[in-house]
Structure 1
Amino acid sequence: MEPMLSVKNLTVKFPTDDGMVAALNGMDLTLNRGETVGLVGESGSGKSVTSQAIMGLFKESRAVIDGEITFEGTDLLALSEDAMRPYRGKKIGMIFQDPLSAMHPFYTVGAQIAEAYQVHNKVSKKAARQVAIDMLGRVGIPDPKRRVDNYPHEFSGGMRQRAMIAMALVCEPELLIADEPTTALDVTVQAQILDLISDLQAETNSAVIFVTHDLGVVAQLCKRVVVMYGGQCVEQASVRQIFQRPSHPYTRGLMASMPHLAGDTDRLTPIPGSPPALLALPKGCIFADRCEFAKIVPDGRCLNMRPELIVEDDHAVRCHGHELKLIDETSLIGAGS
């Protein structure tokens, strides 16, 4: 069966005064209906750019985009801005990281949800307002008939996030992109939001891309994980595979930098160095200068040759050392750091 969403060799570059910034550099991703996939990686790895490219938010910008984004058989990159509008909200919804800045401060919460519904449905303002009230109640806003006329600044952080979810889901999109929706929330509200997204997904059988840097959230919510680094997918596998037997040195470094309740050490193991400068990416593996395994790969290929994404049994890894079987799967997590 063909996947609902297929991203192949996606490249997104932004012109700056210093040159072209390669925010994405050959990104690959697939997503099936009803599936939840987590995008993880350090800040600047390209998670949000991937999400915004899928939404078509760069169509009227100066960004240079190449590659393929196919949604239900339609090439989204080939669509004009006008042709893309019916997809946003109706087919693909997005929960932004900061609802206070994403929602308009001059309009009530209910008016913004109703407007999102009216764009894709020929209904009266009265009917759209009732849909907004029902949706606010559905996402757990108390007394929605009264709160529908509140402005965003009158909501707490958790309530604003719920309202943003209501706006994203009001048209019941087939694909929901959640861009770090719980980053600014306390752990109690975060748990409520994650449960809410899971419950609503089960009701609508929608697919979800969950963008986050929190691996604990990934373990709780996702079925599959895409690990990003330097604008590329460096590893893609099931949650169980990623957490129990990570194969890419960067993934192992992420695992080692997580606190563990059963750990016997007081210090975490950070990944040395910094992410690559997107203005001048290295010609070899983009993780090579932070990877100890690069020293044992022959012919200096880690420094001089970009590794391909090798797929074996639904587990994809972009690493010369893994391809040459030089990285033992039983090696300690974090051995590459």
Structure 2
Amino acid sequence: MTTATDQPLLRIRDLHVTFPTDDGLVHAVNGMDLTLNRGETLGIVGESGSGKTVTSQALMGLLKETRAQVTGEILLDGTDLNTLSEDRMRAWRGKKIAMIFQDPLSAMHPFHTVGAQIAEAYRVHNQVSKKAAFDVAVDMLGRVGIPDPRRRARAFPHEFSGGMRQRAMIAMALVCEPELLIADEPTTALDVTVQAQILDLLGELQQETGTAVVLVTHDLGVVAEVCHHVAVMYGGQCVERGSVRELFRDPRHPYTQGLLASMPTLGDDSERLRPIPGFPPSLLALPGGCLFAERCPQTHRVPDGRCHAERPAFLAAATADHPSRCHLETLTDTAEAVR
């Protein structure tokens, strides 16, 4: 018998996000489907404009007060976040779901000390005194590796270095021990050494708290290092998903293959990088066929011009745990497509 704990913590079903503009509807997310279990890390990768950040904003309910139109289901522990009022969603943020933003300097208030902001986040969900909340903030700053945390808690965000600000943002996101943490490009602006420290810190805190993590990034190297599963987005769609090991060993979608081929190899400067030619489709006027067809080097393998005429379904040729949105998956023998 299946119990509640056997169910995925996060399940996204047919998520669509559109933004009305003077030029028409921008189809930012188009039928996103994902699942994530407790204590696991899911990496969402793709080029800029693929829909990664909009998906994370939809998870946090940050699009409710905009003109965005959000449809589909975002089930967190069985509750559809799309059906919650703004008041209920505000009560969930921080306690059940939290986010680490890409730029902590702009995400933190410049007029309040770091400790006061972390303490305020804690008091929103816990009925404690200001002193008790401040002590929790100091303890959390110490846990994320801030030296002399009691003194640093009284400093302002601009007095922190980039790496320290990111650690403080992590402390604020995890102070109430949420079940789901969304990290939107948390290490993009950091140097390689600090980036590694931040990723190690996230892994250690995740083991302590059992928090599930959605990591939004363009860095496939980071995904290979810290994630259990990965979802590849293109044109607002998830075009391939699977375990990190499966996807890196056997990428099935031509776009995923292109992303991996464009990665530099450490210590090998004998071969030029192979960028993906062309540009992503306009989200104002999506093509009727495969969204990657205009850039895909393998459309000749699919008969009858199907790639340009028909939107492919999310199918799995070898395993249901590694589906790909590509017409090649419908061919029982890919050798027939070459003939």
TM-score range normalised by the length of the shorter chain: over 0.9
Which residue pairs with 1:150 in the alignment? 155
Give the superposition deviation at 1:262. 5.8
Residue 313 (str. 1) matches residue 317 (str. 2): no
Q: Distance in 2 between matches of 1:67 and 1:5?
A: 13
Aligned residue for 1:316, secondary structure, equals coil
Which residue pairs with 1:98 in the alignment? 103
Which residue pairs with 2:232 in the alignment? 227
- 2:52 is aligned, of 30, 47, 53, to 47
Taking the TM superposition and a 5 Å limit, the aligned residue runs for 1:108-147 are 108-147=113-152
Residue 322 (str. 1) matches residue 322 (str. 2): no
Give the superposition deviation at 1:36. 0.6
* TM norm structure 2: 0.95
Give the superposition deviation at 1:160. 0.2
8 Å contact 1:293–1:327 — kept in the other structure?
no
- 1:296 is aligned, of 282, 297, 301, to 301
Q: Distance in 2 between matches of 1:230 and 1:325?
A: 27
Aligned residue for 1:317, secondary structure, equals coil
Structure 2 gaps of 5+ residues are: 1-5
Q: Distance in 2 between matches of 1:163 and 1:325?
A: 52
Taking the TM superposition and a 5 Å limit, the aligned residue runs for 1:82-93 are 82-93=87-98
Of the structure 1 ranges 287-296 and 110-119, higher mean CA displacement relative to structure 2 is found in 287-296
Taking the TM superposition and a 5 Å limit, the aligned residue runs for 1:28-39 are 28-39=33-44
The aligned amino acid for 2:219 is D
Aligned residue for 1:286, secondary structure, equals coil
The aligned amino acid for 1:192 is Q
Aligned residue for 1:8, secondary structure, equals strand
The aligned amino acid for 2:105 is L
Q: Distance in 1 between matches of 2:21 and 2:148?
A: 48
Give the superposition deviation at 1:265. 3.1
- Poorly superposed stretches of 4+, deviation over 2 Å: 261-266, 325-328
- Identity across matched positions, percent: 70
Give the superposition deviation at 1:298. 1.2
Give the superposition deviation at 1:325. 4.6
Q: Distance in 2 between matches of 1:33 and 1:327?
A: 37
* TM norm structure 1: 0.95
Taking the TM superposition and a 5 Å limit, the aligned residue runs for 1:7-86 are 7-86=12-91
8 Å contact 2:315–2:329 — kept in the other structure?
no
Q: CA RMSD in A?
A: 1.4
Structure 1 gaps of 5+ residues are: 329-337
Aligned residue for 1:53, secondary structure, equals helix
Call closer, same or farther: CA 1:198–1:327 in 2, change over 3 Å: farther
8 Å contact 2:301–2:334 — kept in the other structure?
no
Residue 200 (str. 1) matches residue 205 (str. 2): yes
Q: Distance in 2 between matches of 1:110 and 1:7?
A: 34
Q: Distance in 2 between matches of 1:53 and 1:267?
A: 38
Call closer, same or farther: CA 1:289–1:326 in 2, change over 3 Å: farther
